[in-house]
A = this chain, B = another copy of it.
C-alpha cells in the first residue's frame, strides 16, 4: 500500500492546518487526531499510508508479558509494516501504559517505517528518542502496554484521538499534530492544498507589509485581483 512518491512529496509541502482548511470545504470537520503531539519539538512533516493497530482494555490473564509471544502480537505487527507506513495506534487515549516502547520502535525504525502516531503514550522516552523514529503521542509513561491494554489486531478500522482511521488512509503529521486524509479525498487535497499554501504565504507577506486584515483575509475582489496578478508574474505563472 506504498504511496506514490510524488504524492508524498506534494503533501510534504502542505501543513496539517492547511489540510483541515481544504477538507472543511468538503464538509469534513473531524480529521485532526486529538492529543497526539510530536515527541520531538523540531520534527519535520511526515506523510504515509496508515497502518492501523487496535488495543482494548487490559484483562489480567491476557495482558501479560507472555502474550508478547503470540502470533497476533505487537511484535508480529511490526514485522507486517512496510517501508513508508505510518503506524496509527488506537490506545483508547490511555496515558498510563505505553502502547509501544523503545525496542519495538527501534525495530520499526530499522524497517523504515515513517512514523508512529497514537492517542496513547510510548514508553522509555530516552530510548524512543534515540531510535530517531518520529512519534506523535499524548506523551510517555513508564508502565508497559500490558499494564493497561490488550492488543487485538492490525489492519482494522480504528478510532484514534476521536477520529476514524481506515487502513490505507493517508496520514500527515507535523509540528501541529497529525491529520488523516481519507483515501477518497487525497486528490482533493493534492489539488487544493498547494494553492492554499501559496495563497496564505502571499497574505502573510501582505500582513508583514502592513496591510489590514478586512478585505485581505479572506480576500475581497480587489485583493483577489492583486493576488492573481502576482501569481501570473511568477515563473511559469
Q: Which chain A residues have a beta carbon within 8 Å of chain B's beta carbons?
A: 15-17, 19-21, 24-32, 34, 37, 56-62, 64-66, 68-69, 73, 75-76, 78-79, 92, 95-96, 98, 101-104, 106-107, 110, 123-127, 139-144, 146-147, 150, 152, 156-159, 162-165, 175-177, 179, 182, 184, 200, 203-204, 207-208, 210, 212-214, 217-218, 220
Knowing that A25-B65, A68-B217, A150-B164 are A-B contacts, what are 20 other residue pairs whose CB atoms are under 8 Å apart, sorted by A's residue number? A17-B123, A19-B142, A20-B142, A20-B144, A24-B64, A27-B61, A28-B60, A31-B59, A34-B95, A57-B162, A59-B182, A62-B164, A75-B214, A78-B213, A103-B204, A106-B207, A107-B207, A126-B175, A152-B156, A156-B156
| Nearest Cβ on chain B to A142's Cβ, whole angstroms | 4
- Chain B minimum-CB-distance residue to A105: B207
Partner of A24, one of B56, B96, B144, B200: B144
- Chain B minimum-CB-distance residue to A215: B69
| Nearest Cβ on chain B to A186's Cβ, whole angstroms | 14
User: Number of copies of this chain in the oligomer?
Assistant: 6
A73 to B123, CA, bound (A): 37
Decide if A58 touches B79 in the complex (CB within 8 Å): no
| Nearest Cβ on chain B to A145's Cβ, whole angstroms | 11
Task: Specify which chain B residues have a CB less than 8 angstroms from the CB of A204 in the assembled complex.
Answer: 102-103, 106, 127
Partner of A79, one of B24, B162, B175, B213: B213
Decide if B200 touches A17 in the complex (CB within 8 Å): no
Q: Is the interface of A mostly helix, strand, loop or mixed?
A: mixed
CB-CB nearest 3 A-B residue pairs: A16-B142, A75-B213, A56-B159
Task: Specify which chain B residues have a CB less than 8 angstroms from the CB of A66 in the assembled complex.
Answer: 218
